């Protein structure tokens, strides 16, 4: 019985320790501010983006919805491209890692955006996260 209590206490301390090491990545500025990217048709590339090391089990994304015009409601989906809904989401975590069934070709933000755009049919501001 005594070992069980120590074990539970040890697990509790480990949980507190893991939470203390979590990183919060806050996005609260418009990455397109000062550019004409929103006024030019087609895909635009804006340099200077942050590359972060994100631990999916521990870290947190914080997105300021009013800066991006998303509104008060955040509708989230975590799925492969084939399982994305056509409407009703503004945050997508894309679990697809390949857009052409060729592991030798690179997979980047543009490829991820194309996969998402092929499935989501409503226009509007939103966010997507992909892994490469």
pLDDT tens for the 132 residues of the chain, in order: 444 333 333 444 444 444 557 888 888 888 777 888 778 777 666 666 667 787 878 988 888 878 888 888 889 899 999 999 999 998 999 999 999 989 899 988 889 989 999 999 988 888 888 877
Cα–Cα distance between 68 and 91 in angstroms, integer? 12
Same-domain check for residues 7 and 38: yes
C-beta separation of 124 from 90 below 8 A:
yes
C-beta separation of 131 from 93 below 8 A:
no
Nearest to 113 by CA among 56, 52, 42: 42
Same-domain check for residues 78 and 128: yes
- Determine phi and psi for 78, rounding to 5 degrees: -125, 105
Same-domain check for residues 26 and 74: no
Same-domain check for residues 39 and 84: no
- Determine phi and psi for 84, rounding to 5 degrees: -75, 140
Residue 119 is part of which domain span? Answer: 69-132
Same-domain check for residues 88 and 120: yes
If one counts the domains in the chain, the total is: 2
Q: What's the pTM value of the predicted model, to 2 decimals?
A: 0.67
């Amino acid at each position: 019985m005594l070992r069980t209590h120590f074990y539970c206490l040890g697990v509790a301390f480990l949980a507190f320790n893991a939470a203390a090491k979590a990183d919060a990545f806050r996005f609260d500025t418009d990455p397109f501010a000062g550019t004409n990217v929103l006024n030019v048709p087609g895909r635009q590339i804006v340099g200077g983006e942050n590359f972060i090391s994100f631990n999916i089990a521990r870290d947190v994304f914080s997105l300021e919805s009013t800066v991006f015009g998303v509104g008060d409601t955040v509708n989230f989906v975590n799925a492969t491209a084939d399982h994305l809904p056509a409407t009703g989401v503004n945050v997508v975590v894309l679990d697809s890692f390949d857009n052409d069934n060729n592991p030798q070709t690179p997979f980047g933000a543009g490829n991820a955006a194309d996969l998402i755009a092929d499935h989501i049919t409503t226009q509007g501001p939103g966010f997507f996260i992909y892994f490469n």
